């Protein structure tokens, strides 16, 4: 598994453009952990910005997360061995109003694809200003 941390997405789309923040947590979420509200942030990278986000045909979202020497970040123990740059390309489909499901794949590194599912937090209907910020 390339990334075994928990992830939380804060996405917004305006026409075809998708913007947002991805937050990382020490472990993946399970169905009985109150949607991860009590899991500490991941070491080395608590959050990073969504890049090149697009809303495409048929309820499909695509975007990148990038880790380079001087920009972007991924958690310290992401399992990869390249030293210059790693990009994760997400391709997610809106399964229903409360779920995005799909995969993320590596770009510019050893090829790897991992399935991923995001479920909307029913208690978090409006984003606070703090949730929209990220200082990786």
Pairing label, strands 113-119, 99-107: antiparallel
Displacement of CA 107 from its chain's centroid (Å): 15
CA distance 121 to 97: 11
Do 80 and 67 touch, CB atoms closer than 8 A? no
pLDDT in tens, 23-74: 888 887 766 655 556 788 888 888 888 889 998 877 888 888 887 766 677 7
Say yes or no to pLDDT of 16 above 90: no
pLDDT in tens, 68-109: 766 677 787 665 555 567 788 899 999 998 889 999 888 876
For residue 100, what are its two tokens?
A: 């995005």
């Amino acid at each position: 598994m390339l990334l075994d941390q928990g992830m939380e997405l804060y996405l917004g789309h305006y026409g075809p453009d998708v913007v947002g923040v991805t937050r990382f947590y020490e472990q993946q979420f399970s169905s009985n952990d109150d949607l991860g509200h009590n899991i500490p942030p991941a070491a080395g990278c608590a959050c990073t910005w969504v890049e090149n986000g697009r809303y495409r045909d048929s309820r499909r979202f695509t975007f990148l997360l990038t880790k380079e020497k001087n920009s972007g970040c991924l958690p310290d123990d992401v399992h990869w061995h390249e030293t210059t740059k790693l990009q994760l390309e997400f391709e997610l489909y809106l399964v229903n109003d409360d779920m995005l499901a799909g995969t993320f794949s590596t770009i510019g590194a050893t090829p790897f694809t991992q399935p991923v599912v995001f479920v909307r937090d029913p208690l978090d209907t409006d984003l606070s200003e703090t949730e929209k910020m990220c200082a990786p």
